[in-house]
Structure 1
């Protein structure tokens, strides 16, 4: 909501009623311009008739069978799915919809370390499931597109108003570096925190 103007309604579905209600109250307080903030009881209620769907569940120790499930038939045409959290989509939907990842190298490394299905079960990032489907021959590798290529104009963005896009957010380390830089600068400017001398001079490589 801080990045996209015009949001009027928010729906939330969480595993814990208390924490979900607290999240709803925090959103209402931070964004009084919203017309409604509603806590719903099911995944289907949460995803029907929305333009932007953001997943945020943690992975389950029991694997992907315990992830919140979203069926493609519940989604409206044109839905943008931003998926940093553990979610289970039906394979047919993933095979036949637009698939974007933050950086392909991240998923390739998870595949080499865990294999794609184990990575999906343990980490919960939908891009690993996409890569498993690609490895199994359900679609060509070029169907997995990178957000950097879209931002740079090498790959087109949305191609129609009805196109459903699943954007897998695995979490790139460069984002952590950028955030740490902001946190450090804030601490210096406000004279807070503790300075730790980790080394007298950086190691030469």
Structure 2
């Protein structure tokens, strides 16, 4: 996770200065499923690529096509379910490192699905947490997640029975669900809390309520063009007149600038994560380079003329 966070932080910097190009996600609906496509390039790493995935019949299959941006050579085809989980967690970790209070020691996580584990590992990389509370609607899932992590992390972790227990009094709150309605009330947040809203990456999803957005002094996104299209959390607040796009900053812009997002310890901050292609490409390029160096993977003849 430390490596992934370094890669993602670096690509945010590159994005801010125009040295990484990110295309907005596109979705193609068809009977029985949905095709998602997102692409971008990082010229300084000689990397360009596309991440695509199909959601159908209750399952999703992910793949990254990685190209050398200078030669056009297809370098690798990478199954990217786990890669995507790592980069999504890493992005939340980078945001937490720069947006949460330096003395943050407690966190709550709402959601115990496939993405939750890497969110927790990233929080621990960002801050020396002492206690993490995990809530999900399904008791078995939250207890299973806590059971998998308890012996792997140097932090007290517990499953709690309500969302409120995962939010009240916590320095950091992460939501990583597919919810279509808010999963907690903004009134529960303590002054100075930081929120990672990591699951609402489409118009049909909303994890945080309008009050949470309205209470925030700083709202940061990974990509403003992507957020304008699909950030259900923010679009709901804008529709009610409680928020406007002029309040939003990109994380890379904040990292490059001298104006900090958090000014006082009592301010509430939000990182609204959409998940963007240049994160996938940065991590995929690293995975490819390591695989080549260590002899992993299979060489495949691809694109050669048959004559």
Alignment TM class, shorter chain as reference: 0.7 to 0.9
TM-score (norm 2): 0.52
Query: Is the counterpart of residue 73 in structure 1 residue 192 in structure 2?
Result: no
Deviates more, 1:85-94 or 1:138-147: 85-94
Alignment partner, residue 94 of structure 1: 213
Q: List alignment gaps of at least 5 residues for structure 1.
A: 111-118, 120-126
TM-score (norm 1): 0.76
Task: Give yes or no for contact 2:197–2:208 (8 Å, CA) kept in 1.
Answer: no
Listed as ranges, the matches of 1:91-170 within 5 Å are 91-97=210-216, 98-108=218-228, 110=229, 119=230, 127-134=231-238, 137-153=241-257, 155-170=259-274
Deviates more, 1:155-164 or 1:19-28: 19-28
Alignment partner, residue 149 of structure 2: 27
The alignment's C-alpha RMSD in Å is 2.3
The superposition leaves residues 12-52 of structure 1 with CA deviations (integer Å, 9 ceiling, x where unpaired) of 01233223222112222211x32x21100111111111111
**More strand by proportion, 1 or 2?**
2
C-alpha distance in 2, partners of 1:184/1:193? 9
After the TM superposition, which segments of 4 or more aligned residues of structure 1 sit over 4 Å from their partners?
Answer: none
Counterpart secondary structure, 2:237: helix
Query: Is the counterpart of residue 15 in structure 1 residue 137 in structure 2?
Result: yes
Structure 1 residue 180 displacement after superposition: 0.9
C-alpha distance in 1, partners of 2:133/2:212? 23
C-alpha distance in 2, partners of 1:139/1:154? 24
Matched residues, number:
177
The superposition leaves residues 124-165 of structure 1 with CA deviations (integer Å, 9 ceiling, x where unpaired) of xxx333135336643343211211111011542211101111
Listed as ranges, the matches of 1:51-70 within 5 Å are 51-59=171-179, 64-65=180-181, 69-70=183-184
